[in-house]
Amino acid sequence: MCMEDTKSPSLVNFIEKNLPLSKWGSRRKRIWDLNGHTHCPIIGVCLPLAALRKLIGKVYLSAAYAPDYELHILSVNECATRNRLSESLQHELDRRYAQVIARFKTAKTTADVRKLWQVAVSDGDVAGALWAGLAHPRCTPELEEEICRDMHMLQHQAGASARVDLRKFQELQKEKNALAQELESVRQRSARALSEKSAEQENLHAMLMRARAECIGKDTLIASLQSELSELAAAVPGLESRHRLTRRIAEMTGRQQALERQSALLRQQLEQAMQLAQSALAQASGTKSGTGTESEMSVATTSPPVLEEKTVLCVGGRSGSIAIYRKLIERTGGHFSHHDGGLEDNVNQLDANLAAADLVICQTGCISHHAYWRVKDFCKRTGKRCVFVENPSASGLARSLAEAAASNH
């Protein structure tokens, strides 16, 4: 508590007064009616310094800029008597704590006032309760002393808490400064990143605009070319049909050339086969020379065989040589049968053809592997004569027939 100015005549006179409680009745005490030792905690706790300075400035203009302690001492001394400043302080305290005063009005006894004060102390809200309790008409000198003692200890505790809070505040201030520096660093990095992203975005935007311009230019060129093409098509009637005919002629020309090449090859093969057949017939109709085994072997290998109504199955061979094969076999008295070896004909029909044949000619150069092994297995199981020909030609077929006829003899 502050040091009171006991030299003031008004204050001395007030302290010397020890008026009984019955003097006040039910009327609340005024601040100049209270004991002087209560003025210090009331002014220091119940009125903020800013509000106190404002009130003193209205009454004493010269004291408006005095230090805080001088203002506090002046207010405490002036509260000893009724004057303009004490009345202003009384009015301000009643206005500021009107609700607390209304709550304390419900107290009819000193015990009720003490209970309300204890509740305020436990709640930590003592400013309004201090003024309402000390000014209450049922506040006895003993209760007044008790309130002042409690207030004295609370101020000590408040001072200790203030020192603790000050240390915490200083620590928090240091932490705040560190966080502020870190935040500034983060802001700078964010600003740099934002600047880089903005530059990259501008670059991408420029690239997009160039790409759009190129697309527009290409679309314009395509539209111009389409328009020019339409004009040219309109200027030449039947242009589309001419294009179709041109493509058709080119296809037909290529097909004709392929057919001509195939026809020339077939003619060449036919001529070779006919020459071989004529040579074989000429040798068969010539005079026999020599006797014995050598003469018979020569006739067997060079003369065409006589098949005598036998069925000869030719498996494989070129499709263009089938007609030559047929003439060659039928000229010697046999019946011709053919299977392509699974290229186009059904391979399942091969067994029926093999069963109906008397002699099997297998041209291994133009047959599938499956058909080859099927022919070989069938002839091995049934004992049927099978001649394998590596060169698929008419001359090769003639030699195979001659070999087959020689083996039968």
Structural domain total, the chain: 2
Residue pLDDT tens, the chain, 409 long: 554 443 333 333 333 344 444 445 678 999 999 988 889 898 888 888 888 888 888 888 777 678 888 888 888 998 999 999 889 999 999 999 999 999 999 989 999 999 999 898 888 888 888 898 898 999 999 998 988 888 888 877 766 666 666 778 788 888 999 999 999 999 999 999 999 999 999 999 999 999 999 899 989 999 889 888 888 777 777 777 777 888 888 888 888 888 888 878 877 877 777 778 777 666 655 543 443 333 333 333 344 455 667 888 888 777 777 788 888 888 877 888 888 776 666 667 888 888 888 888 887 777 777 888 888 888 988 888 888 877 666 676 777 777 666 665 5
> Final residue of a domain: which of 139, 155, 190?
139
Residue type at position 303: S
Q: Is there a domain that residue 215 lies in?
A: no
What is residue 275's three-state secondary structure?
Answer: helix
- 0.75 exceeded by pTM: no
What whole-number distance in Å separates Cα of residue 43 and Cα of residue 365?
129
> Final residue of a domain: which of 139, 174, 191?
139
Q: Is there a domain that residue 116 lies in?
A: yes
What six digits make up the tokens of 360? 């099997």
Q: Is there a domain that residue 181 lies in?
A: no
Query: What is the per-residue pLDDT for 64?
Result: 67
Q: Is there a domain that residue 237 lies in?
A: no
Phi/psi region, residue 16 (left: phi>0; alpha: psi -120 to 50; beta: rest), is alpha
Q: Is there a domain that residue 245 lies in?
A: no
What's the CATH code of the domain at 326? 3.40.50.2300
> Final residue of a domain: which of 139, 166, 188?
139
Query: What is the per-residue pLDDT for 407?
Result: 61
Whether residue 404 contacts residue 387, with contact meaning beta carbons closer than 8 Å, is answered with yes
Domain that holds residue 382: 304-408
Q: Rounded to whole angstroms, what are the CA distances from 404 to 147, 162, 284, 375, 386?
A: 146, 131, 17, 17, 8
Q: Is there a domain that residue 346 lies in?
A: yes
What is residue 332's three-state secondary structure?
Answer: coil
Q: Rounded to whole angstroms, what are the CA distances from 38 to 80, 156, 284?
A: 10, 16, 163
Q: Is there a domain that residue 222 lies in?
A: no
Q: Is there a domain that residue 313 lies in?
A: yes
